Amino acid sequence: MTVIDDLGVNLGHLSVPEAVAMANARGFDLVEVGAGEKPPVCRFMDYGKFKYRKNKKAHEAKRNQKIIKIKEVKITPRTSEHDYLFKLAHTQRFIGEGNKAKITVFFKGRQIDHKELGMIMLNRFMEDTKEYAVIGHPPTLEGRAMSMILEPKGKGKHATAPVPDTAVQAAMEKIIKGDKDAQN
């Protein structure tokens, strides 16, 4: 094995007992740092400090990574207009936060015989979110549910957060206020 001392000087090829004896004489541990190398590379160092630094780097990398969550929106083929707009607004918010959105259409009872109604609902979601989302996983039927996954357009910090659709917001406000024309 190739041995490097605590100052970074290459001591050349040594046997394991020789390297361990030299490391102990200097007050260090013999740590294998290049296991995949031929021959393996070992270094004199304090193993406790080595583990501490390694854990510190792993913790720092974990803290800096962006965790993407999948948020689910559940609807049925007969979801009302108000509920649809409400779910669309939630989807828009989820994608704006950088998360993925799973749209699931549940079929109750005999609704499973009309899978095309579920596909119509998913196509409507695709159409209404195409400005700020792309399809990450196309619609699939799994048991009594049909689902797809929408992802934000763009990558990383340059992903564009969706601007709230004023037409959707206006329609939702009319429905909430009780305007009967908006429901039809």
pTM value surpassing 0.85 = no
- Sequence letter at residue 179: D
Same domain? For 32 and 93 the reply is no
State residue 182's pLDDT score.
44
State residue 100's pLDDT score.
93
Same domain? For 59 and 78 the reply is no
Same domain? For 58 and 85 the reply is no
- Give the tens place of pLDDT for each residue, 121-167: 999 999 999 898 999 888 988 889 999 999 998 764 434 444 445 55
- Give the tens place of pLDDT for each residue, 77-87: 999 999 999 99
d(CA 40, CA 36): 7
Lowest mean pLDDT among 51-65, 82-96, 152-166: 152-166
Same domain? For 179 and 98 the reply is yes
Name the domain count of the chain. 2
Of 41, 54, 36, the residue nearest 8 (C-alpha): 41
**CATH number of the domain enclosing 137:** 3.30.110.10
Domain that holds residue 14: 2-64
Same domain? For 122 and 167 the reply is yes
Same domain? For 87 and 115 the reply is yes
State residue 67's pLDDT score.
78
